[in-house]
Amino acid sequence: MRAIDVHLHPSTQEMERTLGKFRDEMIKYYRRTTPTRSEEEMAEDYRSLDIVGIPVAFDAETHTGEPPCTNDYVAGLIKRYPDVFIGGFASVDPLKGQSAIDDATRAVRELGLMGVKFAPSLQGFALDDRRFYPLWETIAGLGVPIQVHMGTTGLGAGSPGGLGIKLEYGRPIPYLDNFAADFPQLTIIACHPGWPWTDELIAVLLHKRNVVSELSGWMPKYFPPSLVHEVKGRLQDKVMFGSDYPALSPKRWLDEFAEMFPAPVQDKVFRDNARQILNLTI
């Protein structure tokens, strides 16, 4: 097994429907070439690369008006293709209140998903807003990690007003830092390099032991120099491989990373860190 992709999205019609009004701009932003795939084609993409993956659901319905790619769908995808999809992250919409709490509980206890993913800028909320602390307390009580989108996003990029997305909510300081300080019992996975606040994200990663990162959404050759330096050094045990498939090619990501980083760092980022952080036995 070459790698564990800890952040991928279904490339199927289910996710295309969820992207809705954001789809065209996202394709332009990422210069995406991966077409919409069937589930079997998607699974074969991963088999052919000797990679296993962790798909992510998506629910920002209240803020965007687009239907979710549901937790049930992702759980079903894992059940149908367990050889390549080894677990998944749920998504709940914090603006749905008690329903979000109930959905998170069901996703973990009944569907068997391994954590919960949030995208504050897309979902329209601040991580440290105390209205959402009952949700964080519930997830902490379930004993699972969360993923949190940090930095800019390709969704809405190039559109008037960014289609209503406010990038500020993806800023590591103060939002992620305050959140991590208030919930030290949570394992928090910061998604993406956090640009244009990469140095803020690095500071949080170095300061908060309960915060780790995955590097999806950016090809390694575009990583800011400070991130390259820290992944080779102090952060090599705290970062994981994620592709953001189908927006980016997992093969190209891994090949670029291998050209830039020494073999011991590759082993950690491609596989070993995910095994330890996510308690994987593969």
Instruction: Report whether 80 contacts 42 (CB < 8 A).
Output: no
What's the pLDDT at 33? 56
What's the pLDDT at 72? 98
What's the pLDDT at 162? 81
Per the structure, the count of domains in the chain is: 1
Distance in angstroms between the alpha carbons of the first and the last residue of the chain: 9
Task: List Cα–Cα distances, 119 to 33, 60, 136, 221, 259, in angstroms.
Answer: 24, 8, 14, 24, 30
Query: Does 282 reside within a domain?
Result: no
Helices 198-207, 225-232: crossing angle, 10 deg rounding: 20
What's the pLDDT at 153? 86
- Which residues of the chain carry a pLDDT beneath 70? 18-35
Query: Does 84 reside within a domain?
Result: yes
CATH classification of the domain holding 99: 3.20.20.140
Q: What percent of the chain has pLDDT over 70?
A: 94
Query: What letter would DSSP give residue 69?
Result: B
Residue numbers of the domain that contains 220: 3-277
Rounded Cα distance between 165 and 66, Å, is 13
